[in-house]
Structure 1
């Protein structure tokens, strides 16, 4: 029983090996070449029309497809679907790159505009850090000791009693408020720098006037003291006939001492 099964298996195997014969058909080969990589060759178009087009196999096969030999079916041909897909993919890639460049340009422009206008970044502005912060340092750190530094108690009392101290303090605070407003407002950097420039000119003018008053107050108080002494001496001494010019010369002489 087993021998018969083995014999049957060997017979089937032999028939299978015999049946697995490579079939080479030139029509199929030409069609495969045409579909994949080769340009269609009219001489290889089979079956052919024959003498006077009387080949019945031609008409049976290609009667309904007369333009078939002229049609390029290669996927990678000049107008093949794969070529079109590759061209379309390249065009899409080019469009993507263009959109990316445009988006990057918009992003960089937005960032530069944000840096240009944002008040949050005004403190780290290079021009502010290098120049204007140092020029406005006394105004930013305004204190009473600095305003009246180098003055005697009498000179300080004179500034306070005559309202000069309050005037300078009010002007300085107003200028400081404008400076802080320019630093905290979202404006164009150029406009902010121009505001710094104008306020710095005003601050220098204000500071120069204040320093000039401080330098002249000592001379004024000395002159005033001498004038009072002369007036008191004249009231206590007998009346003498002196002209105004003589009195003024005496005051000037004693103020120089």
Structure 2
């Protein structure tokens, strides 16, 4: 027990001294650290000493002097190669990195501008934004809802604009209702295509307006059909001429459609 006690006291007394740290400051290492960054290039250690012109510092002679390796002397007598000087390698790399960052930012801004332009073009051409177009919502959609909801298979004469059933039956007998049914179906398809196709906004609005003008004429024809034509007196030749006159021209150019829209605007 006594041996264990004395051994414990010895170890405890030795422990503080074994944990002490002695700071080492080697001026040669400090000078080398200065040369490795940017601080100073001329702090060469150990310093040379002379006696009657003869080098007497053996350590200097081994590291930087006549007995030193040639690479040590070339390093000491060579150019300043500190990496963080204004013309150092690291400073040059940093300048190059800054130039590359600037170039990258310019390319990124250019790419973003093209991307924004492409998005604007996409929003202008895509059919996904059709339902949010202000002019479509305010004007064309309310006026074309009757076309979109028109039941071409309706057996009721009121839905076709007739006030009496007999003229409606006679129009069915002569094939006029079937003819109008085909025309309205084509007009409905044209309206559906105008909403779904990917075209510019101006072209889409012209398509809407063309459908709107045709639908307005179609409704007027349906209203006037009962009073305009006396079905019992129509011959087959007259019926064919009448059908040909009712077929709309869907091969018009955009300029013709636009001119007709201007004329209609002046009329109404």
TM-score class normalised by the smaller sequence: 0.5 to 0.7
For the pair 1:171 / 2:183, whether they are aligned, the reply is yes
Equivalenced residue count is 207
Alignment of 1:74-85 (within 5 A): 74-85=82-93
In the alignment, the residues of structure 2 paired with residue 73 and residue 38 of structure 1 have an alpha-carbon distance, to the nearest angstrom, of: 12
In the alignment, the residues of structure 2 paired with residue 200 and residue 21 of structure 1 have an alpha-carbon distance, to the nearest angstrom, of: 94
| Structure 1 residue 189 displacement after superposition | 3.6
2:143 to 135, 144, 147: 135
Q: What is the aligned partner in structure 1 of residue 79 from structure 2?
A: 71
Confirm or deny: 8 A CA contact 2:161 2:223 kept in the other structure: no
Q: C-alpha offsets along residues 125-156 of structure 1, whole Å, 9 cap, x if unaligned? A: 4433332211211111113433225x123443
What's the Cα RMSD here? 4.4
Alignment of 1:156-235 (within 5 A): 156-214=168-226
Say if 1:21 and 1:197 are closer, same or farther in 2 by CA, change over 3 A. Answer: closer
In the alignment, the residues of structure 2 paired with residue 69 and residue 40 of structure 1 have an alpha-carbon distance, to the nearest angstrom, of: 11
Say if 1:23 and 1:193 are closer, same or farther in 2 by CA, change over 3 A. Answer: closer
In the alignment, the residues of structure 2 paired with residue 62 and residue 77 of structure 1 have an alpha-carbon distance, to the nearest angstrom, of: 27
Confirm or deny: 8 A CA contact 2:161 2:222 kept in the other structure: no
TM-score (norm 2): 0.55
Confirm or deny: 8 A CA contact 2:126 2:199 kept in the other structure: yes
SS of corresponding position for 1:79: coil
Confirm or deny: 8 A CA contact 1:40 1:69 kept in the other structure: no
In the alignment, the residues of structure 1 paired with residue 142 and residue 224 of structure 2 have an alpha-carbon distance, to the nearest angstrom, of: 22
SS of corresponding position for 2:41: coil
In the alignment, the residues of structure 2 paired with residue 133 and residue 140 of structure 1 have an alpha-carbon distance, to the nearest angstrom, of: 9
In the alignment, the residues of structure 2 paired with residue 178 and residue 23 of structure 1 have an alpha-carbon distance, to the nearest angstrom, of: 91
Confirm or deny: 8 A CA contact 1:118 1:186 kept in the other structure: yes
Q: C-alpha offsets along residues 15-60 of structure 1, whole Å, 9 cap, x if unaligned? A: xx9xx685554x554443232332434xx5575799xx98694444
Q: What is the aligned partner in structure 2 of residue 37 from structure 1?
A: 38
| Structure 1 residue 173 displacement after superposition | 1.6
User: Runs of 5+ in structure 2 lacking a partner?
Assistant: 232-268
| Structure 1 residue 171 displacement after superposition | 1.9
Query: Larger helix proportion, structure 1 or 2?
Result: 1
| Structure 1 residue 110 displacement after superposition | 4.4
For the pair 1:146 / 2:154, whether they are aligned, the reply is no
SS of corresponding position for 1:136: helix
Say if 1:204 and 1:176 are closer, same or farther in 2 by CA, change over 3 A. Answer: same
In the alignment, the residues of structure 2 paired with residue 155 and residue 99 of structure 1 have an alpha-carbon distance, to the nearest angstrom, of: 72
TM-score (norm 1): 0.57
Confirm or deny: 8 A CA contact 1:119 1:186 kept in the other structure: yes
